[in-house]
Structure 1
């Protein structure tokens, strides 16, 4: 199969770009999404090492390279493809792009070939290559092993529902593309997400559609379709859509955490983040870190509480404020100017549970929200939400905000009386696991924390 795919794409390399309208649109969209992730990063990386799989003639490279250069990021690319003719074709394009480039033939379906690559990568990307791989989970595991701590995977693929009009006109014989649920289960760790979007591509009739399909090395449905059947299918497509077709495109994002652990945040204040943090720290054998603590005028703070409940090592807060307000307002009350850039993960590579202050949109200063800190730290998020009325809206909005930033979500913990309907709605619409449902406890002590042990 590998040799057949390489031959198919190699045969059309010289004229590929003229027929690759969908591929160009999808590459541009993926480039914009990747650029947005690094634009929002604080601090922004000065250099990146990128591995691109299935580069083809370089449409993604062409879209992404100038965007990253515009952010002031210096990039060293390893650009790969299975077909030697595609690699030869891409060389012309690379000469006009910013960055340093190495070209290499790579079979992305072979985990051993991926393992043999040199060094670690900050980003692994590929546009409309994922649907060609026979064992996606094995390839993902191999690619994840090549990532540097905090590195990202960003991919696009055709999804189930693509070319529905042509499928109706032609009948059986088209590939069975994956569904997002299938892809979601293949990530090498918690928190990856697949998003779906519909893209319509216009053609001047069915004949032009089929010409473009052949021009990118794709099959119509059979290696040698029956001419009479093909003409009949073309007439049906022309009658139904005039030759226009629709694709369902999946965009997959996953990030390797910089170290083992999670970031615990909530949909509200007083929702039970500290209890969940203590449970997770004990269950994971992790140390605990609350970088920003407010409200010290009224209580000792969450750090000594977790130390007592979980019996784990704790790191002192970097910012400690007296007023029970948002960090921005508490600092203003004390006449202090906060520096979010000073907030960093404590040294070490052991598991770590980080607890935020308040929810995602709590301001740290005039320019930084808690979600910005979560994104910078790069740990998967455990979102604590109440179980009662209103939680569906608050939880889904929080999940949407996290995923728009490409932040991994390890799961949700519901706090309060168990509610089957709310749990089902959050899992279904939020595409997330509910890790635990913790009712109001009669006692909160070390024994209770041990009894409620769970992990993402």
Structure 2
């Protein structure tokens, strides 16, 4: 196993932020990490998620690599199937497979960021989760830590397991400076117990990159331990 898929329970739950922190952590641990996203939407180019992730990890953006790091990019900030249709284009699964294999060959551990939630359509006949099931990439779930997360997270876990996709665990991400401590603690406990899943940590709200990286260290160690447990990664 030399790839990890970072899936969100929905849009804006902190996937890109976590990918950047994880990539930074891996590189500092001496692990040759890389980043890929199969489809990104939004008018910015290079794609904003790629720039944010590489920036967090202190990795220079190389223009020649962008098309391999972000396999499909569409301007409309919407689900990939719709964004592609607005440009008269379509997501090509074979292009994703090929670029994924090539990027895996270039890195000791490839961090692949999902698109919205796992049930997002890449095209009208292909859900993101179905391609993920084909490739069987061990998956880390990023979930909001606050109100509403139990339903979304348990549904995400159920969908992944229904397709026999290996789940490494769940990381919770604060969406506000002050989340309700009682609510967050119970969310983490409830999802861990009822979802029968490893809770790998909680990302506190930290706009400052330095503080975010420092706070991520114990989470990074836990994630790395979970990866190593199911792989030959040294």
TM-score exceeds 0.5: yes
Contact 2:7 2:15 in 1 (8 A): yes
Higher helix share: 2
Instruction: State the shift of 1:299 in Å.
Output: 8.0
Among 73, 81, 84, the alignment partner of 1:320 is: 73
Q: Distance between the aligned counterparts of 2:124 and 2:20, measured in 1?
A: 30
1:359 has 2:117 as partner: yes
Q: Specify the alignment match of 1:379 in structure 2.
A: 137
Aligned to 2:229: none
Retained in 2: the 8 A contact 1:271–1:386? yes
1:89-129 residue CA offsets vs partner (Å, 9 max, x unmatched): xxxxxxxxxxxxxxxxxxxxxxxxxxxxxxxxxxxxxxxxx
* Structure-2 residue corresponding to 1:406: 164
In structure 2, the partner of 1:171 is none
What is the CA RMSD across the aligned residues, in angstroms? 2.0
Deviation for aligned residue 1:291: 1.7
Q: Which residue of 1 aligns with 2:34?
A: 287
- Unaligned 5+ runs, structure 2: 227-234
1:227-285 residue CA offsets vs partner (Å, 9 max, x unmatched): xxxxxxxxxxxxxxxxxxxxxxxxxxxxxxxx323100111101100011112222233
Alignment TM-score, normalising by the size of structure 2: 0.77
Q: Which runs of 4+ in 1 moved over 3 A?
A: 297-300, 312-315
Instruction: Name the CA shift for 1:398/1:355 in 2 (closer, same or farther; >3 Å).
Output: same
SS at match of 1:303: helix
Instruction: Check the 8 A contact 1:384/1:415 in 2, yes or no.
Output: yes
- Cα distance in 2 for residues equivalent to 1:279 and 1:432: 22
CA contact (8 A) 1:381 1:411 kept: yes
Separation in 2 of the partners of 1:280 and 1:439?
A: 15
Q: Does the residue aligned with 2:122 lie in a helix, a strand or coil?
A: coil
Is the aligned partner of 1:439 residue 2:186?
no
CA distance in 2, matches of 1:446, 1:405: 38
Tell me the CA shift for residue 438 of structure 1: 1.1
Consecutive unaligned residues of structure 1, counting only runs of 5 or more, are 1-258
Structure 1 segment 56-135 matched on structure 2, within 5 A: none
- Between the aligned partners of 2:2 and 2:44, the Cα distance in structure 1 is 33
Are 2:50 and 1:303 aligned?
Answer: yes
Aligned partners of 2:143, 2:191: CA distance in 1, in Å?
10
Q: How far off its partner does 1:325 sit?
A: 0.2
Q: Which residue among 339, 348, 364 is the counterpart of 2:92?
A: 339
Aligned-pair CA distance for 1:441: 1.6
Aligned residues: 197
